[in-house]
Amino acid sequence: MRFLLGVLVGYSLRGKQKLLIRFLVTLALFVYVVIPAIALLALRLDVERERRSRPGQTKVPLVKGLTHEDAERKLHSANLKIRLLATRYDPAVQPGLIIDQTPAPGEAVALGYSVGVTVSRRDFAGPGP
């Protein structure tokens, strides 16, 4: 780069070799402007293609404290599915309500992802006699 600029400045100060100056200016523009612009355009197109190939994402809504049916409607409106992972007795929670969910609310997941829920049940099924 320094050499090319030195040649251009030297020849332009002397006013000689106008054809050489034009050639070197054209070469410099091509090497330092046109080729990088083409490379950046190709990179931009590659990034756009990569983004389009990824599945769409959405954030997981909060479903803790809802009934299974209400949670299913809420998840369906967010383009997500529901999956019952377990039922657990919890005396502090009304039976039939969701007491846990995976993934956590606010996490980004792919559209159509299944959100696992744990629902409280009515009775304690402890170990037998």
**Residue where a domain stops, chosen among 35, 53, 71:** 53
pLDDT of 124 reads 65
The total domain count for the chain is 2
Instruction: Give the model's confidence band at 23: pLDDT under 50 very low, under 70 low, under 90 confident, else very high.
Output: confident
pLDDT of 113 reads 94
- Pair (22, 77) in one structural domain: no
Strands 57-59 and 108-110: antiparallel
- Pair (47, 66) in one structural domain: no
- Pair (89, 44) in one structural domain: no
pLDDT, tens only, 103-118: 999 999 999 999 999 9
- End-to-end alpha-carbon separation of the chain, Å? 88
- The boundaries of the domain holding residue 46 are 2-53
pLDDT of 87 reads 92
- Pair (68, 112) in one structural domain: yes
CATH number of the domain encompassing residue 111: 3.30.10.20
What is the CB-side half-sphere exposure of residue 8 using CA atoms within 13 A? Answer: 13
Q: Is residue 126 part of a domain?
A: no
Distance CA 126, CA 110 (A): 38
Q: Is residue 40 part of a domain?
A: yes
- Pair (63, 33) in one structural domain: no
pLDDT of 127 reads 53
pLDDT, tens only, 31-81: 888 999 999 999 999 999 998 888 888 999 999 999 999 999 999 999 999
- 129 contacts 85 by C-beta, under 8 angstroms: no
Q: What is the pTM of this model?
A: 0.57
Backbone angles phi, psi at 42, to 5 degrees: -65, -40
